[in-house]
Amino acid sequence: MARVQAQYAAPRASLEVDNGLRPVVRHRRAGARDWFETSMTALGNDCWRAVFIVTELGRYEYQVMAWVDAFLSWRHDFVRRSTADEADIALALQTGAALVQDAAKRAAATAAKRLREIARVLAANGKLSARRELALGDELALLMQAHADCRSATTLEPPLPVIVEPERARFSSWYEMFPRSCGPPGSGHGTFSDCEALLPRIAALGFDVLYFPPIHPIGRVKRKGRNNTLVPAADDPGSPWAIGAEEGGHKAIHPALGTLNDFRRLVAAARKLGIDIALDIALQCAPDHPYVKEHPEWFRRRADGSIQYAENPPKKYEDIYPFNFATSTATALWEEIKGIFDYWIAQGVHVFRVDNPHTKPFALWEWLIGEIKRDHPQVIFLSEAFTRPRVMHRLAKLGFSQSYTYFAWRNTKAELTDYFTELTATDSREYFRPNAWPNTPDILTEYMQ
């Protein structure tokens, strides 16, 4: 379940039993010792729901616990008995008094004293109507609920998670901009300073996330030019997703954009205007990325001994080497990948767009996002996964805060109505947050043509 601060969590459960059922939801911050309990409310047809509020960033957990409550069963039966049969009512009150007396043994001093007093009144020969009113009153119901005998309870194990994130994870307006293209006309390669000058305008338009494609050095080996040519012109800048060159890799900045201090200044200036800078993390390398020499075992070899470049037949990406996640040194690779995120978090980045996460091991994301959110619960992850719905939903359950969607391909009123009904009115709304991009830099949908 995914929530944001100060939002209600409302778990539901189907519970069937032959007698008086007492279900509760136990909830707490992950790692806390004590549980809080919230009673579940019957919705009908054996469906129950509880509502509790989550107030802090991070991980909560909850579990459904239910048991057959003897007092609840007795009360349900007692309320239906005819008041005309006084002997029957009196006998039933004796049974109820025994249950109350038993609850007193489980209660602390003050509550135990009051429960014993009520038990004596129920069992005595006082006015029948007053005893009946006491038996069915709210005071006794609350006392018996607080001191119920739940030794036979069935509890859902293991506890289920609730991931609590910043409000921006639930809703945010993203603007994508290539920093190298944001300079004044005729000024050449854009810089972080040029981006900073545009921040007031971006804020005025209502955007609160400014998303950059990769800002790292771009490989020179096998660099692509215009129209995907392998013979680029001298001034062709290459693809930002061909990450890494002699200047550095995923933890370096393209020299033409500026320095690390320039980037930090941009992040701070954006935050003052209510804007988060989002970085694109693409787990792939240009042929001249330092990783290729330092860790050749992280890349797959073809039959001729050359490194396998990225392909999506008939497309070929000779300028990009994907990681081999089946490498014998996968642990070191995973740690290095986490280190990339840690590095940029240290520079003030709290929002990441992850390139094609569905083509990487699911276990990687479950571990990595869990580790990062444990130390930095304010971090938001956007999944750029145009793939099968079940896979998109799986990534959300693994920890991604938001996901790309099929919105770009939904054009008619009927298509939009059906799709947003699916996104907002089905169970997936509990964990899957859609990000509705009208297009992307490399996808020109029919409606945009």
Catalytic pick from 355, 415, 442, 446? 355
What are the Cα distances from residue 321, in Å, to 184, 242, 286, 290? Answer: 34, 8, 6, 12
How far is the C-alpha of 275 from the C-alpha of 295, rounded, in Å? Answer: 37
Residue 180 gets which letter from DSSP? G
Structure tokens at 388: 């099968």
What radius of gyration do the chain's Cα atoms show?
A: 30
Burial annotation 256-269 (CB, 10 A radius, 16+ → b, else e): ebbeeebbebbbeb
Three-state SS at 285 = strand
In order of 112, 124, 141, 152, the CA distances from 103 in angstroms are 8, 18, 12, 15
Is the CB of residue 286 less than 8 Å from the CB of residue 221?
yes
CB of 119 within 8 A of CB of 101?
yes
* Catalytic site includes residue 384: yes
Tell me, yes or no, if 288 is annotated catalytic: no
Catalytically annotated residue among 138, 139, 384, 430: 384
Q: Are 187 and 263 in contact (CB under 8 A)?
A: no
Amino acid of residue 247 = E
Does residue 409 contact residue 443 with C-beta atoms inside 8 Å? no
- Chain center to CA of 310: 30
Q: Cite the active site residues.
A: 355, 384
